[in-house]
């Protein structure tokens, strides 16, 4: 990590690293990622025949999946106690005129830096964060309908299963994109690991962000 950072900016001093995420932000991300990982892994063992044959134990796998799913929103709820975390949620919520430019640039595959203006989070990150939050809540709602079948008319269970199945597939693909982009940007990963990023990276990737 440090080697890579030095390759970008040989003169990087500790002071030229800027603070991007607080401790709460990082722990919320870590625990949410772990819970989401459990949800995806157990889902694979329930849906994909090859994994289902390998693992069996259907009731146990279902129980782990249910518990991880219900726990998924908990880290974010805890994060709300932190002012820094709430400020970041504010950034993810608010879209400025430059975000429209970013979206257009992304749709036209325009890779020039001027086509991708961004503040602390770019428009893609904002849309992803809000979509995955909404999608997770839909998964939670439909999941609860499948779990506690006596709470809703049983007819709804089939409908809930249908939405749960297709949204699971969609989340799998989008989550793959999220992880793929993180793998392609070591400095972004360092930001979530250590809380700090190089000033040069911040200028390049988030020119409108004033840390």
Partner 1 sequence: MNPEPTESPEEEQEAQGRPIGRRVLLGTLGLGALGVVSAPVLQKGMDGFLGAVSGKDPTGLTGLLPNGGGFRYYSVTASVPNRNAQNYRLTVDGLVDRPATYTLADLRAMPQTRLVKDVQCVTGWRVPGTPFEGVRLSRLLDAAGVRAKAGAVRFTCFDGAYTESLTLDQARRSDILVALRMQDKPLGHDHGGPVRLYVAPMYFYKSAKWLSGITVTEDVKPGYWEDRGYDVDAWVGKSNGRDDDPTS
Near partner 1 by CB under 8 A: residue from 142, 175, 198, 202: 142
Alpha-carbon gap, residue 65 to 74, rounded angstroms: 15
Q: Interface with partner 1 includes 70 (CB under 8 A)?
A: no
Nearer to partner 1 by Cβ, of 35 and 145: the residue is 145
Near partner 1 in 99-118, by CB under 8 A: 99
Q: Is the C-alpha dihedral spanning 158, 159, 160, 164 positive or negative?
A: positive
HSE, side-chain direction, 13 A CA sphere, residue 50:
0
Residue labelled with tokens 């709460």 = 24
CB atoms within 10 A of CB 141: 12
Alpha-carbon gap, residue 157 to 22, rounded angstroms: 41
- Conformation bin of residue 132: beta by default, left when phi > 0, alpha when psi is -120 to 50: alpha
Near partner 1 by CB under 8 A: residue from 34, 165, 185, 203: 165
Near partner 1 by CB under 8 A: residue from 5, 24, 42, 143: 24
Alpha-carbon gap, residue 2 to 5, rounded angstroms: 5
Q: Which of the ranges 35-43, 68-76, 89-97, 197-205 carries the binding residues for partner 1, by CB under 8 A?
A: 89-97
Q: Which of the ranges 6-14, 88-96, 109-117, 193-201 carries the binding residues for partner 1, by CB under 8 A?
A: 88-96
Alpha-carbon gap, residue 171 to 77, rounded angstroms: 21
Q: How many residues line the site for partner 1 (CB under 8 A)?
A: 62
Q: Interface with partner 1 includes 155 (CB under 8 A)?
A: yes
Residues that bind partner 1 (CB under 8 A): 22-24, 47-49, 52-53, 55-59, 81-85, 87, 90-96, 99, 119-120, 126-127, 129-131, 133-135, 137-138, 141-142, 145, 149, 153-163, 165-169, 209-211
């Amino acid at each position: 990590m440090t080697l890579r950072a030095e390759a970008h900016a040989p003169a990087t001093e500790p002071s030229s690293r800027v603070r991007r995420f607080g401790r709460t932000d990082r722990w919320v991300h870590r625990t949410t990622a772990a819970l989401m990982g459990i949800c995806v892994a157990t889902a694979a063992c329930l849906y994909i025949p090859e994994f289902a044959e390998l693992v069996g134990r259907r009731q146990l796998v279902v129980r782990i999946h249910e518990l991880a799913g219900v726990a998924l929103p908990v880290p974010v709820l805890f994060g709300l106690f932190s002012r820094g975390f709430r400020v970041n949620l504010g950034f993810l919520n608010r879209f400025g005129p430059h975000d429209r430019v970013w979206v257009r640039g992304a749709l036209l595959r325009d890779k020039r830096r001027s086509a991708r203006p961004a503040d602390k989070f770019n428009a893609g990150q904002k849309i992803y964060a809000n979509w995955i939050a909404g999608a997770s809540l839909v998964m939670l709602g439909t999941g609860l309908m499948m779990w506690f079948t006596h709470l809703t008319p049983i007819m709804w269970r089939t409908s809930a299963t249908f939405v749960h199945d297709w949204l699971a597939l969609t989340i799998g693909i989008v989550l793959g994109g999220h992880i793929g982009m993180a793998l392609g940007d070591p400095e972004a990963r360092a930001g979530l690991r250590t809380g700090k990023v190089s000033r040069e990276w911040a200028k390049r990737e988030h020119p409108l962000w004033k840390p």
